[in-house]
Every structure is written in C-alpha cells, then in structure tokens.
Amino acid sequence: MIYCGGFFDPASIKKQLIELTDRSESVDLWQDPQAAKIVLQKRAQLEYEINKFSKRESYFHDLKTMLDLAEEEKDEPLIQDIEEDLKRLACGVKLYQLESFFSGEADKNSCYLEIHAGAGGTEAQDWTQMLLRMYSRWAENHKYDVEIIETSQGEEAGIKSSTIKINGTKAYGWLKGESGVHRLVRISPFDSNARRHTSFASVGVYPVVDDSINIEINDSDLRIDTYRSSGAGGQHVNKTESAIRITHKPTGVVVQCQTDRSQHRNKAIAFEMLRSRLYELELRRQEEHENAIDKNEIGWGYQIRSYVLQPYQMVKDLRTGFEKSNVSAVLDGELDEFLQSSISAKIAQLQNA
C-alpha cells in the first residue's frame, strides 16, 4: 500500500508510540500526574490510529487476493462484489485521509452541538427539530453516542432549541465546520394556503474539553439560575427546579442543562459545557475567526447551507458550492459529502495561505 505524501506514515507513528510507551514506564513521569495523563492519552490515540490503519491495510490485501482468485476462475459475480467492496474501502480511506489533517488540539474530541430556531416562528421550530434529527442520525450512522443535554419545546410544534453531546473520537473535527445558519425553503405544512416559506436555524459546535486543558472561570463572573425542566421527563423532572442555566457575564455565553433529575448533576454538566464554550471562543480568537453567530440575528446573514424542497429539490453548501439533489437522504443523516467538501476546502485554503 502506498503512503501518500505523508498523510499517514505508519513507521513514524509506530516510532512515536514506542517513545511514548517508554516515557509512560518511566518512574519520573508519574511524579507529575497531569503530565502522565497527557502521555497516556496521546499513546491511546496513536494506538487507535495504528489499529484502524492496520485493519484497513489487511482488508485491502484480503480483497486483492480474493480478486486475483476470482479473475483466474472468471467468476464475474464475485468480481463485481469485490469491486464494490474496494469502492467502499476507497471511500473509507478518503475519510481517513481527511482525518489525518485534523491538527487542532481538540479535533479528536467529542463535541456539543446546539441548535436554535431563528426567523420563521413555528416553521423555524419545526426546522430546528428536523436538523436535530439529521445530526442525530448522522452520529448514529457513525457509531457515535448521542446524549440529549437540553431541549426547549415549541409552543405549537418543533423545538425552540436543543443541545446534544456527541461522544466519539474526532466528532468535533468532523462537525466543527457545521457552525452557522441553515436555511430551509418549502411549502409550509402549517400554512392552510400552502404558501412557500423560508425558515432559519443556527447550529453551533464546540469541543468537549478534558482536565488537561486549563480554563479559568471566576465565580464572580457567573450568574446561575434554576428552573423547571420542560417536556417529557416525569413528575419529578417537571415539578422541581432541577434544570440549570449558567450565564458567563464577561462573554455573554449561556449554557443550560436539564438532562438529569439531579440539580447537582445538571450543574456539573452545565459547567463542563461552559468550559467547552469558553475554550471554543478562545480557539476562534486564535484562528482569527470573526464569523461568530449572533442568536438574535439568525436570518439571511451568516448562512452556510441552503435546503430547498420547493420549487425544486437541492441542498447546497454556500461556502464550497457543493450540492446534492437527494434532500431526503441528507435530512436522514447522509452528510459525509458535505463534511468532506468543507474540510477539503479548508485544507486547500491553509495550503495556499
């Protein structure tokens, strides 16, 4: 197998792995528990990368051997099946190649994804729920675990906002480009005159940060409010003020959690989310990203993707120009091509800078 342009160099990775293993076995390292934790995390990540690469390489050689035998036997049905397997493997290798460019400190982490309804009333709230389903299906298709942190139900239909936690390696690296405004055009199911409506919802993605990343938060900068959870959850959840909302006054960042029956647990989760949000804000500053979304201005500006159901069917990424006519598939979680185009465009931009 050819190792292209250094996108993955197994010999180098294995050398790093040996060095980290030697360090982890050093008595001196364990005098600093924080440093030891970072070394172990890095070693586990490299082991994960090597194992994933080795499985793909082994599978490729197995398919090649099977294809040679099938061609000798002139077994056309088997040849076609193997060629389809090779195509699927090639798609997986392409994804793996893009992952190799995830160089950000938090790209390998899990992430929080929050969605807020914008202009459009009930239409926008229904659209927000559709987006929540779309991202949840994408995560499930990739074997990521999805945890609902908070959901605010709409008055008539849909949801006003929702925050989910997507647990899995490199979830943030894949989804961080999804932050922005998503626009829907369709014949409204809530309009008795069957008129075409435009709705907006904003998506924000930020990484889950661990203890190795130091985020300083002063208690005096926080406002902590409690409130009753909304929606399904049983009598205890709905009748006690177990939900938590934390406002970071210097930045205006607001996080809230109502996923647990325990106010203490919800508060701990909200603090974890706040640390992640503040870290993501610092990443933006460092990367000189000045396209932060104002939730009070969710409309025609800041759009990254348009989903049109009428008068024609098309999903188009407004940053890369990539488009797809199978809207139903996209809304059912088939986002990989859009994620790939966004990441590829970013890589090209950095390489040309």
Q: What is the pLDDT of residues 62-110, one digit of tens each?
A: 999 999 999 998 999 999 999 999 888 887 777 777 777 777 778 888 9
Q: Is the pLDDT of residue 250 over 80?
A: yes
pLDDT higher than 80, residue 332: yes
pTM to 2 decimal places = 0.72
- Range from 62-66, 93-97, 202-206, 323-327 carrying the lowest mean pLDDT: 93-97
Report whether pLDDT(48) > 80. no
Give pLDDT tens digits for 213-246.
Answer: 678 888 899 999 888 776 544 444 444 668 889 9
Q: Is the pLDDT of residue 162 over 90?
A: yes
Which 3 state secondary structure label does DSSP give 208? coil
Q: At 126, is the pLDDT very low, low, confident or very high (cuts 50, 70, 90)?
A: very high
Q: How far apart are CA 284 and CA 295, in angstroms?
A: 17
pLDDT of residue 27: 79
Q: In this structure, which amino acid lies at residue 302?
A: Y
User: Which of 11-20, 266-275, 296-305, 315-324 comes out lowest in average pLDDT?
Assistant: 296-305
Q: Are 109 and 208 in contact (CB under 8 A)?
A: yes
Q: pLDDT at position 292, please?
A: 45
DSSP secondary structure letter of residue 142 = T
Contact by Cβ (8 Å): 86, 63 = yes
Nearest-angstrom CA–CA distance, 347 and 100: 11
pLDDT at res. 351: 66
Structure confidence at residue 212 (pLDDT): 62
The pLDDT score that the predictor gives to residue 178 is 94
Query: How far, CA to CA in Å, does 201 sit from each of 38, 80, 115, 268, 317?
Result: 37, 43, 7, 28, 15
Pairing of strands 111-117, 159-167: antiparallel
The answer to whether residue 274 scores a pLDDT higher than 70 is yes
Nearest-angstrom CA–CA distance, 95 and 87? 13
pLDDT at 113 over 70: yes
**Backbone phi, psi, residue 21, to 5°:** -65, -40
Q: Judge whether residue 302 has pLDDT over 50.
A: yes
The DSSP string of 225-293 is EEE---SSSHHHHHHS--EEEEEETTTTEEEEE-SSS-HHHHHHHHHHHHHHHHHHHHHHHHTT---PP
Mean predicted lDDT score pLDDT of the chain: 83
Q: Can you tell me the mean pLDDT for 174-197?
A: 87
Q: How far is CA 289 from CA 111, 156, 214, 292, in A?
A: 19, 36, 21, 7
Phi first, then psi: what are they for 163, rounded to 5°?
-125, 130
Kindly list the structural domains of the chain, giving each domain's residue range(s) and its CATH number in brackets, ordered by start: 10-99 (1.20.58.410), 111-301 (3.30.70.1660)
**Alpha helices, H only, 142-184:** 171-175
**Separation in Å, CA 309 to CA 69, 93, 184, 325, 328:** 48, 32, 8, 10, 9
Rounded Cα distance, 226 and 229, in Å: 9
DSSP H helices in the chain? 10-24, 33-73, 76-99, 122-141, 171-175, 234-239, 263-286, 327-331, 336-352
Q: Which residue has the higher pLDDT, 139 or 104?
A: 139
Q: What are the beta bridge partners of residue 146?
A: 166
3-state class (DSSP) for residue 27 = coil
Q: Long-range CB contacts (< 8 A, 24+ apart) of 44-53?
A: 45/108, 45/169, 46/13, 46/16, 46/17, 46/20, 47/17, 48/169, 49/8, 49/13, 50/10, 50/13, 50/14, 50/17, 52/96, 53/8, 53/10, 53/13, 53/96
96, 8 contact by CB (below 8 A): yes
